[in-house]
Amino acid sequence: MTDTHPAPALQLDGLWRRFGAKIAVAGIDLVVPAGSFYGLVGPNGAGKTTTLSMATGLLVPDFGTVRVHGQDLWANPTQVKRLLGVLPDGVRLFDRLTGAQLITYAGLLHGLDRDTVAARTADLLRAMALEGDAQTLVVDYSAGMTKKVALACALVHAPKLLVLDEPFEAVDPVSAANIRDILTSYVASGGTVIVSSHVMDLVQRMCDHVAVIAGGHVLAAGTVDEVRGDASLEERFVELVGGRVTGEGLAWLRTSSD
Ligand SMILES: Nc1ncnc2c1ncn2[C@@H]1O[C@H](COP(=O)(O)OP(=O)(O)OP(=O)(O)O)[C@@H](O)[C@H]1O
C-alpha cells in the first residue's frame, strides 16, 4: 500500500543548539503540515529565532534533522533551500540597492529569467505599497518598509514554504492587513507559512496551527483550537509560560509624592 499523505512542509526532529554554556534549543520536535498557516510563539529568548535559523539553513544544528517537504535540508542545502522563502530576524540587506533592484537581484539569484523577474518585481512592489519608493535606496527606507521589501525578496521565487520571523514588527496596520491578505491567499493556493510573533491576538486570528516554545522546548503544539482550549491564546500562553511579575519591585518608579 502506498502512503497517500503528503510529507509535512517542515519536520524538525530532535533539534539542539548551544551557544557556549547557553542551550538555546533543547530538543525541538515539530511537524508543520503542508498547507498550514503555522504560528510560533514564545517569550523573549525562548529559542524561536534559533529554531527558525536552523530550519531554514542559516544556522547549523548541533543535533537533529530538518526535513522540508520530505527532503533533508542539511544533507542537501542548496537544492532544498529553493523550496524556501525566508524573512530572517534583523535582516541585513544589500541596502545600497534600490527597492526594485533588491527584489530583482533576489529573483535573478534564484535563477528566474529577466522578464519574469521584472513582472514579479512590479507586482510585489504594488502589493507591498512600495511603488512610490521603488527607486529609493533601501538604506533610506523606514523599518517597516525594509521589512516589506525583505518579504518581497522572500516571495519572488514563489517558494513552497515561507518562514517569516516577526513579519509584522514595525509594519503599519494597512500594510500589515495587505501582507496578511497576501499570506492568506498564498496558503489558500497550497503554500505553507510559518510566522513567529509576539502578538497572540494576531496569531489566533491568522494561523490555523500554533506551537508555544519556551526555554528551548515545545510546551504545546497543534491546531490553534487544540492549544487554546476554552481560553484565549494569550491566556493559554501566560498559563503555559508563566512569568507574570507585578510592579511591586519598582517602588522607586512611582512618581507621586504621597
Ligand atoms: N549567537 C548567539 N550567541 C549567544 N547566545 C545566543 C545567540 N543567539 C541566541 N542566543 C541565546 O539563545 C537563546 C534563544 O535566543 P533566540 O534569539 O532564539 O530567542 P527568541 O525566542 O527568538 O527571542 P525573541 O522573542 O526575544 O526574539 C537566548 O538566551 C539568546 O541569548
How large is the average pLDDT for residues 44-67?
95
Cell of 104: 530583482
Q: How confident is the model at residue 33 (pLDDT cuts 50, 70, 90)?
A: very high
- Give the closest residue (by CA) to ligand 1 atom 6: 19
- Give the closest residue (by CA) to ligand 1 atom 7: 19
How large is the average pLDDT for residues 172-194?
89
Q: What type of residue is 195? A: V
pLDDT of residue 173: 86
- Using alpha carbons, select from 68, 76, 82, 85 the residue that is nearest to residue 13: 68
Q: Does the structure show a pLDDT above 80 at 255?
A: no
Distance 61 CA to ligand 1 centre (A): 14
Distance 50 CA to ligand 1 centre (A): 6
Q: How confident is the model at residue 47 (pLDDT cuts 50, 70, 90)?
A: very high
Given CATH 3.40.50.1100, say whether it is the number of domain 1-83+198-258: no
pLDDT of residue 6: 82
Q: How confident is the model at residue 246 (pLDDT cuts 50, 70, 90)?
A: low
Cell of 224: 490553534
- Give the closest residue (by CA) to ligand 1 atom 1: 19
* Beta strands 84-87 and 10-19, pairing class: unpaired
DSSP state of 142: -
pLDDT of residue 135: 97
- Give the closest residue (by CA) to ligand 1 atom 17: 49
Ordered by start, the domain boundaries in the chain are 1-83+198-258
Mean pLDDT value across the chain: 91
How large is the average pLDDT for residues 98-121?
96
- Give the closest residue (by CA) to ligand 1 atom 4: 19
Q: Residues lining ligand 1, judged by CB closer than 6 Å? A: 19, 22, 24, 42, 44-50
Distance 130 CA to ligand 1 centre (A): 31
CA angle 119, 121, 122 (to 5 degrees): 65
How large is the average pLDDT for residues 115-135?
95
pLDDT of residue 250: 81
Q: How confident is the model at residue 1 (pLDDT cuts 50, 70, 90)?
A: very low
pLDDT of residue 170: 81
How large is the average pLDDT for residues 52-59?
94
- Give the closest residue (by CA) to ligand 1 atom 18: 47
Q: Does the structure show a pLDDT above 90 at 64?
A: yes
Which range has the worst mean pLDDT, 52-56, 140-144, 226-230? 140-144
Atom of ligand 1 minimally distant from the CA of 47: 18
Distance 68 CA to ligand 1 centre (A): 23
Neighbour-count burial of 80, counting CB atoms closer than 10 A to its CB (0-12 exposed, 13-18 middle, 19+ buried): buried
How large is the average pLDDT for residues 98-106?
96
How large is the average pLDDT for residues 173-182?
85
- Using alpha carbons, select from 221, 104, 202 the residue that is nearest to residue 157: 104
Q: Which percentage of the chain shows pLDDT scores above 70? A: 96
Q: Does the structure show a pLDDT above 80 at 248?
A: no
Distance 217 CA to ligand 1 centre (A): 13
CA angle 167, 63, 59 (to 5 degrees): 35
- Asked if 211 and 30 touch (Cβ cutoff 8 Å), the reply is yes
**For residues 42 and 61, what is the distance between their CA atoms, to the nearest angstrom?**
20
Ligand 1: residue of 30, 48, 241 to mutate (most ligand atoms within 8 A of CB) is 48
How large is the average pLDDT for residues 88-101?
86
